[in-house]
């Protein structure tokens, strides 16, 4: 899902109004662990890129607390003992509305310059990898290109600290995240009813797929319930910043739902969540 994508121009302007398009950015760290990532931002500070990256990393770390890292490590699918009910950590107000709106405008600039292509996993989604090494990408979205690594570092370090603590206590646990290693994807839903099929992000057996954690940052500051676009997860609970849990609503398909609200960050195990 988060592999590097090629680039090509859009064939023609799309009729879907900008306000109704749903944007998110996701990416995964590498090593024994990759994170499908997020977009966090402190762009409102107007800092130089290097300072922005550090500030963004600190902002994510302050939201993704050791307690939340403990919650995720407890359902690590690589742990000896078999399958465990999964948790989706959901954090709101990560960077603030102004920052989210700025990131959204950069994402729209990437789209308007024809830097998106149709995702192989869903023809209703336009996507690309956001990289600071691409000059045209960097010119369109200076701060957006700095976010994935900042998030990977913040989330990865919290997970590593918790795993190391358990290893020191004698638990058989692996799955450390390499510092800052990740892939990412900016995804834009272009059509009503567009969706991904039910899937697991990391599917290759034997540890061949390096993606271990997925983080999603939603760039929809004016999202409304009528737009839909929820993340659905089965056999899982949603854990908020206060540590509280929410299960699936009564009736329906038994899935928990996470709305794609702007400035919201979701984190879960790539190989554990369906």
pLDDT on residue 10: 28
- Give the 3-state secondary structure of residue 88: strand
Task: Give the β-pairing of 22-27 and 122-128.
Answer: unpaired
More confident residue, 70 or 29: 70
Whether residue 256 is predicted with pLDDT greater than 80 in this model: the reply is: yes
pLDDT on residue 17: 40
Rounded to 5 degrees, what are φ and ψ at 45? -75, -15
Query: Which residues have C-beta within 8 Å of that of residue 246, sequence separation ≥ 6?
Result: 237, 238, 240, 256
Q: What percent of the chain has pLDDT over 90?
A: 21
Query: Which residues have C-beta within 8 Å of that of residue 132, sequence separation ≥ 6?
Result: 138, 145, 146
Task: Give the β-pairing of 185-189 and 122-128.
Answer: antiparallel
**Closest C-alpha among 44, 54, 61, 10 to residue 221:** 44
pLDDT on residue 199: 83
Q: What percent of the chain has pLDDT over 70?
A: 73
pLDDT on residue 91: 94
Whether residue 175 is predicted with pLDDT greater than 50 in this model: the reply is: yes
- Give the 3-state secondary structure of residue 232: strand
Query: Which residues have C-beta within 8 Å of that of residue 143, sequence separation ≥ 6?
Result: 41, 43, 49, 52, 102, 103, 106
Radius of gyration of the chain from its Cα atoms, rounded to whole angstroms: 18
- Give the 3-state secondary structure of residue 50: helix
Give me the chain's average pLDDT, please: 75
Q: What is the mean pLDDT of residues 239-262?
A: 81
DSSP state of 177: B
Strands annotated E in the chain: 22-27, 35-36, 86-92, 117-119, 122-128, 185-189, 213-218, 231-233, 236-240, 245-246, 256-258, 264-269
Band (pLDDT 50/70/90 cuts) for residue 219 is very high
Whether residue 35 is predicted with pLDDT greater than 50 in this model: the reply is: no
User: Cα 118 to chain center, whole Å?
Assistant: 19
Whether residue 14 is predicted with pLDDT greater than 50 in this model: the reply is: no
Whether residue 56 is predicted with pLDDT greater than 80 in this model: the reply is: yes
pLDDT on residue 215: 92
pLDDT on residue 1: 27
| Residue listed under structure tokens 């789209």 | 111
Whether residue 57 is predicted with pLDDT greater than 60 in this model: the reply is: yes
Whether residue 148 is predicted with pLDDT greater than 90 in this model: the reply is: no
Whether residue 230 is predicted with pLDDT greater than 80 in this model: the reply is: yes
Q: What is the mean pLDDT of residues 28-41?
A: 39
More confident residue, 43 or 68: 68
Burial of 124 (0-12, 13-18, 19+ CB in 10 A): middle
Query: Which residues have C-beta within 8 Å of that of residue 199, sequence separation ≥ 6?
Result: 1, 121, 274
């Amino acid at each position: 899902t988060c592999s590097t994508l090629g680039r090509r121009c859009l064939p023609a302007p799309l009729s879907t109004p900008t306000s109704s398009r749903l944007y998110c950015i996701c990416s995964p760290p590498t090593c024994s662990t990759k994170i499908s990532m997020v977009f966090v931002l402190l762009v409102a500070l107007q800092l130089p890129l290097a300072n922005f990256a550090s500030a963004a990393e600190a902002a994510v770390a302050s939201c993704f607390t050791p307690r939340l890292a403990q919650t995720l490590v407890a359902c690590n699918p690589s742990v000896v003992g078999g399958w465990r009910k999964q948790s989706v950590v959901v954090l709101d107000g990560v960077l603030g509305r102004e920052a989210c709106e700025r990131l959204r405008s950069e994402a729209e600039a990437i789209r308007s310059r024809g830097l998106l292509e149709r995702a192989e996993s869903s023809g209703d989604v336009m996507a690309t990898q956001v990289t600071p090494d691409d000059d045209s990408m960097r010119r369109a979205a200076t701060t957006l290109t700095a976010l994935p690594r900042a998030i990977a570092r913040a989330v990865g370090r919290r997970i590593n600290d918790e795993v190391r603590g358990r290893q020191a206590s004698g638990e058989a646990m692996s799955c450390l995240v390499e510092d800052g290693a990740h892939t990412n994807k900016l995804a834009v839903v272009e059509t009503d009813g567009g969706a991904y099929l039910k899937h697991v992000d990391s599917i290759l057996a034997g540890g061949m797929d390096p993606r271990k954690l997925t983080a999603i940052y939603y760039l929809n500051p004016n999202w409304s319930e009528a737009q839909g676009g929820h993340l659905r997860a089965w056999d899982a609970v949603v854990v908020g910043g206060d540590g509280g849990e929410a299960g699936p609503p009564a009736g329906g398909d038994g899935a928990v739902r996470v709305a794609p609200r702007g400035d919201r960050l979701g984190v879960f195990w790539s190989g554990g969540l369906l």
